[in-house]
């Protein structure tokens, strides 16, 4: 049984980033297939509240999947049962997490080195899931030069998985290399199950191009969505939205409102919202307009996500609001999060942000570079 998702574009599992309010924001921009943050099956089985909270989804998420990390078949099966109780429409097995603690305990990318265990966990999950599809998210391999995605793909297919999701790098490579979409294409040709490619997509024309060269069934987007949650609409419509500063503040304010809804408007809710929202500005500040006419040729040589050339233009930095929104300073990110929390409407948030930007310009505050796209510990 293959997955039958309503869209070929999937929002990736994103620890810390893919909270319910953020996913709700992406759904508003057309994301139809969403996924939880990674949840540890053993913590779900122990009934840990913090872990179970990761399984909650918004009513607007119609095709919500839960990603679990497990290293034993019985834990995989238990994770599936709990995910289904929480309304998951599909369940993914994480076989890509590079974080030391996870790998050390035999989960995440470690499973790529234990194909037999990976297959057993997948099979147990498929049996526990009944009609609900199980997917497996892998990397090309654990070590460079020892890529084994083909072997893993075949085992996963034999175990009854409904799709393979492939991040086109090894665990060792982290984010240092461009994702290898040719390798993703080879896998799609070698396997009978749908392969969803993942890696470096930040524009609609890159999504289109990567799908074309690989023949993959679909594309999963991670950092592209963190930088511009409207990427789903761009891919669906085949055009760049080019949101200016005030339009972006409106989007960020919507996220703040969704967080207030979800975490609560009290002091605890405020603390949580400020924590997550400031973190999001670490990605929002990397936004750049990347119109196809200017950037497509470059994107064919090297993914725009990875390019060093894509820094704000002098013209963009002339505008105090644009300059402030491109600033990588974490104190500023905290101040922007507080500003959004305190603004009752998007209009007021735009006014307050514009005033702050002008003040910083008048005071001659030097902006900090956002640097290259980071990974929040995932690479
Ligand atoms: C902040 C952050 C959190 C992530 N959390 C997860 C996770 O929980 N599970 C997972 O399988 N991958 C996780 N990833 C990896 C992404 O899902 C994705 O595979 C990777 O970023 C490559 O896609 P991209 O180039 O579109 O960013 C995370 C990545 C980032 C940047």
- As a whole number, mean pLDDT of residues 144-153 equals 94
Going by alpha carbons, the residue nearest to atom 23 of ligand 1 is: 199
Nearest atom in ligand 1 to 221's CA: 26
- As a whole number, mean pLDDT of residues 13-36 equals 98
- Counting every residue written for the chain, the total comes to 379
Tell how far CA 193 is from the center of its chain: 23
The CA 362 to ligand 1 mean position distance, Å, reads 39
Going by alpha carbons, the residue nearest to atom 22 of ligand 1 is: 199
Contact 18, 37 (CB under 8 A): yes
Q: What span, in angstroms and rounded, lies between the C-alpha atoms of 82 and 66?
A: 10
Q: What percent of the chain has pLDDT over 90?
A: 88
Contact 196, 216 (CB under 8 A): yes
- As a whole number, mean pLDDT of residues 369-374 equals 63
pTM of the model: 0.96
Pocket flag, ligand 1, residue 153 (CB < 6 Å):
no
pLDDT digits (tens, 9 = 90+) for 103-128: 999 999 999 999 999 999 999 999 99
H-run or E-run covering 211: helix 204-214
Query: Is the model's pLDDT at 13 over the cut of 90?
Result: yes
Pocket flag, ligand 1, residue 201 (CB < 6 Å):
yes
Give the model's pLDDT for residue 19.
98
Pocket flag, ligand 1, residue 210 (CB < 6 Å):
no
What phi-psi label fits residue 16: left (phi over 0), alpha (psi between -120 and 50 degrees) or beta?
left
Q: What span, in angstroms and rounded, lies between the C-alpha atoms of 27 and 116?
A: 37
Give the model's pLDDT for residue 175.
74
pLDDT digits (tens, 9 = 90+) for 266-311: 999 999 999 999 999 999 999 999 999 999 999 998 899 887 565 6
Going by alpha carbons, the residue nearest to atom 13 of ligand 1 is: 14
- Domains recognised in the chain with CATH numbers: 9-237 (3.20.20.70), 245-363 (no CATH)
Q: How many CA atoms lie within 13 A of 20 on its CB side?
A: 18
Strands (E), the chain: 9-11, 33-40, 63-69, 90-95, 134-141, 163-170, 195-198, 218-221
Q: How many CB atoms lie within 10 A of CB 371?
A: 12
CB neighbours of 313 closer than 8 A, spacing ≥ 6?
none
Contact 231, 29 (CB under 8 A): yes
Contact 229, 25 (CB under 8 A): yes
Give the model's pLDDT for residue 44.
98
Among 15, 16, 225, 278, the mutation site with the greatest number of ligand 1 atoms within 8 A of its Cβ is 15
CA distances from 191 to 178, 195, 276 (A): 23, 8, 39
pLDDT digits (tens, 9 = 90+) for 191-235: 999 999 999 999 999 999 999 999 999 999 999 999 999 999 999
CA distances from 347 to 31, 146, 252 (A): 25, 54, 12
Pocket flag, ligand 1, residue 36 (CB < 6 Å):
no
CB neighbours of 267 closer than 8 A, spacing ≥ 6?
none
Residue 379: band (very low, low, confident or very high) from pLDDT cuts 50, 70, 90? very low
Pocket flag, ligand 1, residue 137 (CB < 6 Å):
yes
Q: What span, in angstroms and rounded, lies between the C-alpha atoms of 94 and 246?
A: 38
Pocket flag, ligand 1, residue 15 (CB < 6 Å):
yes
Q: What span, in angstroms and rounded, lies between the C-alpha atoms of 178 and 341?
A: 37
User: Which SS3 state, helix, strand or coil, does residue 314 take?
Assistant: helix
Give the model's pLDDT for residue 369.
74
Mean pLDDT over the full length of the chain: 94
Query: Is the model's pLDDT at 371 over the cut of 90?
Result: no
Tell me the two tokens of residue 291: 């119109």
B/e letters for 53-73, b = 16+ CB within 10 Å, e = fewer, are: ebbebbeebebbbbbbbbbbb
Give the model's pLDDT for residue 307.
72
- As a whole number, mean pLDDT of residues 317-329 equals 93
Nearest atom in ligand 1 to 37's CA: 8
Going by alpha carbons, the residue nearest to atom 6 of ligand 1 is: 14
The CA 178 to ligand 1 mean position distance, Å, reads 14
Pocket flag, ligand 1, residue 178 (CB < 6 Å):
no
pLDDT digits (tens, 9 = 90+) for 241-266: 989 999 999 999 999 999 999 999 99
Q: What span, in angstroms and rounded, lies between the C-alpha atoms of 71 and 297?
A: 43
Bridge partners, 33 (sequence order): 10, 63
Give the model's pLDDT for residue 377.
52
Considering the candidates 26, 97, 242, 285, report the single residue annotated as catalytic. Answer: 97
Tell me the two tokens of residue 87: 């309304």
Q: What percent of the chain has pLDDT over 70?
A: 96
63 carries an active-site annotation: no
The CA 379 to ligand 1 mean position distance, Å, reads 8
DSSP class of 159? T
Give the model's pLDDT for residue 110.
97
Give the model's pLDDT for residue 176.
75
CA proximity to 124, closest of 194, 82, 77, 75: 77
């Amino acid at each position: 049984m293959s997955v039958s998702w309503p869209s070929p574009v999937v929002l990736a599992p994103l620890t810390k980033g893919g909270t319910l309010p953020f996913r709700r924001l992406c759904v508003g921009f057309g994301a139809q297939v969403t996924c939880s943050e990674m949840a540890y099956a053993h913590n779900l089985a122990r009934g840990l509240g913090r872990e179970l909270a990761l399984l909650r989804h918004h009513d607007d998420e119609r095709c919500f999947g839960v990603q679990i990390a497990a290293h034993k078949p019985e834990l995989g099966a238990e994770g599936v049962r709990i995910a289904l109780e929480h309304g998951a429409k599909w369940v993914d097995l994480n076989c890509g997490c590079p974080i030391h603690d996870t790998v050390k305990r035999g989960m995440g990318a470690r499973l790529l080195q234990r194909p037999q265990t990976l297959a057993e966990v997948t099979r147990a999950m498929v049996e526990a899931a009944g009609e609900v599809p199980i997917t497996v998210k892998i990397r090309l391999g654990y070590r460079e030069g020892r890529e084994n995605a083909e072997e893993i793909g075949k085992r996963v297919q034999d175990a009854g998985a409904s799709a393979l999701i492939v991040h086109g790098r090894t665990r060792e490579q982290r984010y240092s290399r461009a994702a290898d979409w040719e390798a993703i294409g080879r896998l799609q040709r070698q396997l009978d199950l749908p392969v969803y490619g993942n890696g470096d997509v930040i524009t609609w024309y890159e999504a289109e191009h990567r799908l074309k060269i690989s023949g993959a069934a679909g594309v999963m987007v991670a950092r592209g969505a963190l930088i511009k949650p409207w990427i789903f609409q761009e891919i669906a419509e085949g055009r760049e939205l080019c949101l200016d500063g005030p339009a972006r503040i409106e989007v960020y304010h919507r996220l703040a409102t969704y967080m207030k809804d979800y975490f609560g408007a009290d002091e605890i809710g405020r603390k949580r919202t400020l924590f997550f929202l400031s973190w999001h500005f670490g990605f929002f500040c990397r936004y750049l307009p990347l119109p196809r006419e200017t950037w497509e040729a470059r994107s064919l040589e090297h993914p725009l996500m990875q390019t060093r050339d894509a820094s704000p233009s002098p013209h963009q930095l002339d505008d105090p609001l644009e300059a402030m929104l491109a600033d990588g300073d974490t104190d500023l990110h905290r101040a922007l999060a507080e500003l959004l929390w305190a603004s009752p409407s998007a209009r007021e948030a735009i006014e307050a942000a514009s005033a702050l930007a002008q003040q910083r310009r008048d005071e001659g505050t030097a902006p900090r570079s956002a640097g290259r796209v980071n990974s929040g510990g995932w690479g």
